[in-house]
Structure 1
């Protein structure tokens, strides 16, 4: 029986092993391990890649969100609108600053936050909006920015899953007032540990974030604000610089394999991902919907195929947010998708043969 993982990081490493080892060895030989030349070079390369003025490396994708919101002045008494159909960090950082997350429902096709639902949630306490480019497909950024401008709101793009994605031929991270990336190992551009990056065209936000990430100090030992210890590791930066050279090709491979799945699964009673024409979807995950999710996932497991649920409990239904008063059915589309959706294997090294085996296994379930 075949064994097909959801993601094969060892297969990726095998293609770049020599370059990664040389990059790591260069750091170890150089002796600069914190905020060294590799971090600076990666920041320059990410800024150029995304077409933005500033890129600032931090310890992880969650810190990236937190530092931007802090720099934007989000705090107690403020509300920040975001999606409940995402990883917990998107709301967690709002709460950590003493603000209140306000959840708006999603578009049933793209799974991204719905602009009209955001509009309905705006109050005089609203300070910011965090759209999440979920699974690698951008949210509807032009309409969100128009809405934000009308109400003088800060927009932070949570692009943890969407580096290299584009909306209307413009890179994600270049639409909002700032954007954030995660370099968690499973991401399209993943390190060998934690890491994150903030991108922005706003000089003031960039300056504040650079101070916040080093304990609020500038220069060292002189503190103008209460900050954080959130620095991108030099070893991670060195490895990420190698991987960044391959990112476009890897994402193109993901898109090609997604198209193969679309074709192989089109006649089956599952819903394949919707790809909006005005967007470059980078398929961090290939998400399908099924009426009998548990049964189908178990069938795939029995045949050696790994799957994953993203995400089983929408954020408004998490125990920690019970006090916000969102009842069952209050955000119906997110709740429905949390019950129906799951990911099947997708990564650049996945073979056509394996994809056909996965599709046939799904087909067998419905016979």
Structure 2
């Protein structure tokens, strides 16, 4: 009888031990699967291999035989994107991303350009930006019949995460020498005897001579109360800081006139205009006019700050007085002109620029 009880107890212990071991094994497996699926903690090389072996990459159409790939974590989520650069008369880049829901690679961004002779997208390195987001340094090079054009772009994800944009651009000339130090987020442009050292810190690029914020990729004015108050056709174009002159023209449509103003080529519309900077360099300012019933008081109420109006004589004419005020609001620099300097002064024109300090 005792032997029988002991045998039953032994069997029970064995069974329970097996169940515990199976449970522990199952927990380990579930944990491993969860870690793999949720964190997707692969090395950069494993991500690259996975991307290159994906169905998407095998079927992607690259319009050039001259191409290369880089892994860049634009979103800072430790799931890098595959950057495909290609060169030739058709040149540009394609960016693929991993879809965590479908567990598959797919195309995210595609940007193609054309060159009459030859064009290159040249990869120069990766900076680590704000929130661990990668910023890729590339140069866009175009060989023309009479001249070559090369521009350095700092590619970043837009602040809403929906696009890849050029955060800032810098013209490189024939005798320019570009040096990049990715370990310090520093690049240097030397042209002849003049050199300028640029450092990326958080959301701005600083040099010995200037500090410039990176473009956000978002609408210039996002405050709904200010948009409603200004009530201006310019904001219906969806132009953003970072748009080049051709892009801004494409968004605005055919201008009423295109002519030179203060030495620069400008596109004029009914109640706004903008001017060409250097080729491939974004438009830095937009000039708006013909406001209706926008007063100094109403502006102050919306932006929640005092506006101080100053004045000067235009063209040395004492009868031609300009009343103006400069202020900043939500990372936009405003230069406003009014019809006089009293509290009920009405807004007559407004210049919008990216918030930057020189």
Q: Shorter chain as normaliser: what TM range?
A: under 0.3
Structure of greater relative contact order (alpha carbons < 8 Å, 6+ residues apart): 1
Select the structure of larger CA radius of gyration: 2
Normalized per residue, the structure richer in helix is 1
Per the normalisation by structure 1, the TM-score is 0.25
Name the TM-score, length of structure 2 as normaliser: 0.25
